[in-house]
Structure 1
Amino acid sequence: MQFHPTRRTVLALAGATALSLGTPLAAQADRLRLAFIPQENPEKLLGDIEAITGWLAEQIGVPVEGFVTIDHAAAVEALRNGDADISFMGALPFVLAEAEIGAVPLLSEVYRGAPSYTGRIFVRRDSGIRSLADLRGKDIAFADPISESGYLYPLAEFVKAGLIEGPGAAETFFGRVFFAGGYQQAMQAMAEGLVDAAGASQYADLLLTPVQQAEVTWIAESVPIPSHLVIARPGLDAGLQDRFVAAMLQLNAPENRDKLSYLYGPDGYVTADAAAYDGVREMARQSGLLR
């Protein structure tokens, strides 16, 4: 079954960005350009980018520039066009970028002590929704149409439950399907009652306020998903790439760990193992996203 995200309703909800918050620079060999995806509030992310790129520039020895893309697909296009050299990315967009443009995996996140995490379906505690079946005819917000934990894996739980046949049939079950532009935006839409449920990372509730966290719960969880990673465009200067990887691995040192909060808050980074993403490649093939 072929999945066509452009046929779905795409809305910016609860503060989601609809425009890139930075302008990629022309390709230059004497600088490094990083693309960031808006998993959380893009305005906060801009401040984080400014902090981490300054530190990376000191370590690598060349200027480092960062910008926020609209979504995962825009990050892939930035790598394809040479507007970005490196991107922080989820597992699903990585395997698509690998197949389409030969993207190279560099680093994988370690989060809460594990190299994997899950996707969940979140609802408000007072919604009366206790099972996936209770969401029939209800509205749901997902993070991004090519997000693994923010769409494909949570949606697969509805397939396993026999409620839908596949991604292309989602709108036959739900009232409306929205893509909010990031984890935080999808979770805010659910928490504020704009939609009945949200599909996002198992840790996405941490992006809500403490009061909101107490008001939401989850009703389904996916199988483990390999963690987010950092990837490079093909053809990036090998020496520059090696210096970037070395600098990023320095973030694991105790004296540098505070800087991880500027990079989506993982515990640290390890060298990426491409084979660890075979399950994601198979999920993408089953969903019609890969041949």
Structure 2
Amino acid sequence: MMIRRLGPIYLSGLMFLAVGLLASWPGAAGAAEGVAPDGRLRLGIVSPRPTKMIRIMQPLAEYLAKHLATSGIRKGEAVATPSVGSMVSYLRTGKVDVYIDSPFPSVVVAELAGSKILLRRWKGGRPDYHTVFLARRDSGISSLEELRGKMIAFEDPGSTSAYFLPKAVLLRRGLTLAVKKDFNEAVAPGEVGYIFGGDETNILIWTIREKVHVTTVSNDDWENLQENMKKELKVVARTEPVPRHLVSVRGDLPPALQAEIRRVLVGMEHSEEGRRVLKHVQKTDRFDEFPQGAEAQLRPVRDLIKYVRKEVGAL
């Protein structure tokens, strides 16, 4: 046979050619630079309900992996951490590559872990939201300065729109806030007492029933509030708008892969598959770039975060 006649030199050449072909074959490509050796891209969220949030976010992780295959990504995995501190650790050690959260935690994590904020998330037709301060219509309260000696109800200690943002605004105005065990605890004349209601319904009912003087909700919640409750309340003040949610990437992720992640997420709204995944992720409309750049859009958050940084970092 021809191979036998040509001998070992010919066989060596064939082996060299075969190795070259295998190395160039798409399925044999190595993992993307900067991610796990197995080519896994990890999408991180902070949540006290990890099972639920992983179920919500896993389709997005898989979508990213599918559309980043040419960049060496082989699999997508949603990862939930119980705290902001643990997310900082995961980003620093490469256990999370992409991170999605509300603006206050995202900015604190970027400061501590060196993550880079890339995109914003739209929901309900808007890229941002703000806090609305509400009081009973007949309360006589018309400004935030009148809250001294009174009680305010926040929703929960992990909420941007219903805690961090309004609290930071009050502190910036020079008001002193003091947490209380319940709405029966006394509030000193020079302070603003506050308690947590756990959910939007509780804090609104407490305000209507005069258990507290003021409460805070997002503008979305206010606009969608039942009319029979809405007519009992009035808007005392509003905060400036802040981005609803932010997409960050690990700071040491290769720039080329960062650019590809940005491209894939921004392009999701343009395909049926992408829109289906977006809807699954808590009815997301789309992801997009910051029109004036991330720094300009995040300036209101950075200006306020100094008042609540310690609390955000302790989440």
The TM-score range, normalised by the shorter chain, is 0.5 to 0.7
Q: How does 1:1-291 map to 2 (within 5 A)?
A: 28-29=36-37, 30-38=39-47, 44-61=52-69, 62-121=74-133, 133=146, 136-138=149-151, 140-144=153-157, 148-159=160-171, 164-165=175-176, 169-171=177-179, 173-178=191-196, 186-187=199-200, 189-190=202-203, 199-204=216-221, 215=229, 219-253=236-270, 255=272, 256-272=274-290, 273-276=293-296, 277-285=298-306
CA RMSD in angstroms, aligned pairs only: 3.9
Tell me if structure 2 keeps the 8 A contact 1:103–1:233.
yes
Tell me if structure 1 keeps the 8 A contact 2:122–2:287.
yes
Per the alignment, do residues 53 and 98 of structure 1 end up closer, same or farther by CA in structure 2, a change over 3 Å counting? closer
Once the two structures are TM-superposed, the CA of residue 85 in structure 1 deviates from its matched residue by 1.4
Alignment-mate amino acid for residue 97 of structure 2: D
Alignment-mate amino acid for residue 263 of structure 1: V
User: Structure 2: 5+ residue runs without aligned partners?
Assistant: 1-34, 180-187
Alignment-mate amino acid for residue 65 of structure 2: A
User: Structure 1: 5+ residue runs without aligned partners?
Assistant: 1-26
Q: Distance in 2 between matches of 1:192 and 1:69?
A: 33
Q: Distance in 2 between matches of 1:279 and 1:70?
A: 27
Name the SS for the 1:267 alignment partner: strand
Tell me if structure 2 keeps the 8 A contact 1:103–1:232.
yes
Q: Distance in 2 between matches of 1:189 and 1:46?
A: 28
Q: Distance in 2 between matches of 1:175 and 1:94?
A: 28
Q: Distance in 1 between matches of 2:215 and 2:268?
A: 32
* TM-score (structure 1 length as normaliser): 0.66
Between structure 1 and structure 2, the one with the greater Rg is 2
Tell me if structure 2 keeps the 8 A contact 1:37–1:71.
yes
Name the SS for the 1:82 alignment partner: coil
Deviations 1:228-272 (A, max 9, x none): 210012112444433322221122215232322233333211124
* TM-score (structure 2 length as normaliser): 0.62
Q: Distance in 1 between matches of 2:200 and 2:241?
A: 20
- Matched residue count: 249
Once the two structures are TM-superposed, the CA of residue 219 in structure 1 deviates from its matched residue by 4.7
